[in-house]
Structure 1
Amino acid sequence: MKSRIGYAAWVAGVAQFFVVHVIAESAWARPYSWARNNISDLGNARCAMQSEPEPRYICSPEHGLMNASFITLGTLLAVGVFFTGAVWRRGASPLVARWLLACAAWDS
């Protein structure tokens, strides 16, 4: 049962992230580009010109929603790592994989 909670946390985290991503990008006055914009641009709280990686104007009206989504994704990723612990094989590779997933959760 615990592993199902972990799997559900992963699915819910990814699903909510993509839904919120679409909502946040659709709120932009200038179209958000998956090719030219960074994902962090959606969570940028200030409207201003950015010079890196290329000059572009960033203004994300739904930055609060996107930042909440980043936090939710990280939390649900960590919950998934915790609750799926029993189904991982033993050994170095699974341990490293779980550690990397936990680091990704922390970084979100």
Structure 2
Amino acid sequence: MPTTSRTTLGALCWAAAAPLFLIANLVVGLAWTDPAFSWMTNNVSDLGNVTCGVWDTTRPRYVCSPWHDAMNVAFVLTAALLVAGLVLTWRSWGAGRSVRWSRRLVLAGATGLGLAGAFPADVNENLHLLAALLVFLAGNAGLVAAACVPRGTLLAPLRPVTITLAGLGVIGSVLFIAQQGPLLGIGGMERLSVFALPVWACVAGLHLHLTARRAAAPKPAAALV
């Protein structure tokens, strides 16, 4: 497969990840009735819990997610799209230490999302905690590294967006781990942390897709003098 085709396919995988994850969060959350799901109070992983009951000793809350299977599948599919996009666009990232670190950390963060769906919090709390740490720490560190890629690389034009999302992800991670939720609640802080990577991948995917299309477009013939 030509490099441009690989990049385009990878870009489309990235662009699809965030919408899939967002729609799953909305739809599965709407299935909650008593109590209703709250983006300010509940964790994202509450949507994937397979049993009903009071959950979490640090913030006890009643959790009952009727469509937990759909959410866990969405976790895994989102991770698969992020990993596939990373692999297919790997060569397009360019060279440099920050590029290498960003790819590795983004891969770890995406893997964390998959683990979160494969091992719901009330099924295997230890592996789910590992998954969360990969998303919170590795995934957002990958965005910090992506904000430092050298000029001239394909993702360098996204630096302002990358810096913004990396900052939101890091702030969300720190406040969530500290169990502080100003304005958005603790659940809102977690969403800043978790959504930063998929949203960045969506923006990067659209950027790479448009860049690949421009590169593949036929060049106009030179005008005759």
TM-score when normalising by structure 1: 0.94
1:2 pairs, out of 3, 6, 10, with 6
Mapped partners of 2:78, 2:51: distance in 1: 22
Mapped partners of 2:38, 2:8: distance in 1: 35
Measured against aligned partners, the alpha-carbon deviations of 1:12-41 in whole angstroms (never above 9, x if no partner) come to 111111111111000001211111111000
Moved more, 36-45 or 48-57: 48-57
User: Which residue does 1:26 correspond to in 2?
Assistant: 30
2:95 pairs, out of 74, 90, 93, with 90
Mapped partners of 1:13, 1:34: distance in 2: 20
Structure 1 or 2, whichever has the larger Rg, is 2
Alignment of 1:27-42 (within 5 A): 27-29=31-33, 30-42=35-47
SS of aligned partner of 2:38: coil
User: Which residue does 1:11 correspond to in 2?
Assistant: 15
Measured against aligned partners, the alpha-carbon deviations of 1:53-103 in whole angstroms (never above 9, x if no partner) come to 422100000100000000001111100110111211201101111101110
What is the number of equivalent residue pairs in this alignment?
Answer: 108
Structure 2 regions of 5+ residues with no counterpart? 114-225
- What percentage of aligned pairs have identical amino acids? 33
User: Which residue does 1:65 correspond to in 2?
Assistant: 70
SS of aligned partner of 2:13: helix
More contact order relative to length (CA 8 Å, sep ≥ 6)? 1
Provide the alpha-carbon RMSD of the alignment.
Answer: 1.0
Mapped partners of 1:103, 1:51: distance in 2: 25
Tell me by how many angstroms 1:51 deviates.
3.4
Structure 1 regions of 5+ residues with no counterpart? none
User: Which residue does 2:111 correspond to in 1?
Assistant: 106
